[in-house]
Amino acid sequence: MIEVRDLKRSFGTHCVLDGVSFRIDAGEAVVIMGRSGGGKSVLLKHLVGLLSPDAGEVLVDGRNIANLGERQMLEVRSKFGVLFQGAALFDSLTVAENVGFALSRSGKCTPAEVANRVAEMLDMVELPGIQDKKPAELSGGMRKRVGLARAIVHRPAIVLYDEPTTGLDPVVSDSIDQLILRVCEQMKVTSIVVTHDMRSARRIGKRILYLRDRRIYLDAPTEAVFASTDPVVHRFVNGISIPKEITF
């Protein structure tokens, strides 16, 4: 369903991705993990065409989207739902307008249908009855949930999560993990989660891609990664630092 071939991307003289390749099949739940600033979010943005690679290919359902124009990308993006790190809710709109945005803009649903679907999605993320609130009135966890409702309202085939539990307390993080699992099971979507939260990675992912030194260092089932005896993987999974390697 999604295949990345020899992806390369630099910002100025700083190379972030250098020959990244992997394949994700339909219905898989994959976690991309790596250190902060290691290029995980950049990689995720390439999958949905928010960034264009310097070289390489990104194939979505067999179509290379690497060099598509912005208007051609709109059609491809309707297959995706994205939960951003800070939820990225539109400040000027209410929760209902945020969640129903994609449906309202598509022009294929009546206002009543949009309202019903919004209510259904808010029930799913366990936030019923907050349609009229503004994003500024919501807590961090609520914003993430509303962001997720907005991402899945149009029933996408692929949902991307950019650090869904960052900045949340352990209890709220756990509830977000459960929500991601529920979405994955109920909607049968392909889930790609970028995180460096090991607990989340273990719960959500069936497979882990470990991004290190601008490439995929390891591509293996989740339990194999956590049981790995490779010193690099072992240190990352268990959060063991080597002072000379620390770059903030």
Partner 1 sequence: MQPVADIGNFALRMVADLGGFALLAGEVLRSLVSVRPSLRDLIYQLYSIGVKSQSVVLITGAFTGMVLCAQAFFQFQKVKMETGTLALVGVSMSSELGPVLTGLMVAGRVGAAMAAELGTMRVTEQVDALRTLATHPVDYLVVPRFLATLIAMPLLTIEAIAVGIGSAYVVGVHFLGIDAAYSWAHMLKYVGKSDIAMGMFKTLCFGMIIALVGCYKGLNCREGAEGVGHATTEAVVTASISILMSNFFLTLALRGLLE
Helices (H), the chain: 40-47, 70-77, 95-99, 101-106, 111-124, 140-152, 170-187, 198-204, 222-226, 231-238
Is position 75 an interface residue for partner 1 (rule: CB under 8 A)? yes
Please say which residue, 70 or 245, places its beta carbon nearer to partner 1. Answer: 70
Please say which residue, 50 or 181, places its beta carbon nearer to partner 1. Answer: 50
Is position 2 an interface residue for partner 1 (rule: CB under 8 A)? no
Is position 16 an interface residue for partner 1 (rule: CB under 8 A)? no
Is position 144 an interface residue for partner 1 (rule: CB under 8 A)? no
Is position 236 an interface residue for partner 1 (rule: CB under 8 A)? no
Pairing verdict, β 63-64 and 55-60: antiparallel
CB 194 within 8 A of CB 226: no
Write b or e for each residue in 28-60: b if 16 or more Cβ atoms lie within 10 A of its Cβ, otherwise e.
bbbbbbbbeebbbbbbbbbbbbebebeebebeb
Total residues at interface with partner 1 (CB under 8 A):
26
Cβ 50 to partner 1 shortest distance, Å: 5
For residue 197 the two structure tokens come to 């939260």
Please say which residue, 153 or 201, places its beta carbon nearer to partner 1. Answer: 153
**Residues interacting with partner 1, by CB under 8 A?**
45, 48, 50, 70-71, 73-75, 77-78, 80-82, 84-86, 88-91, 101-102, 105-106, 150-151
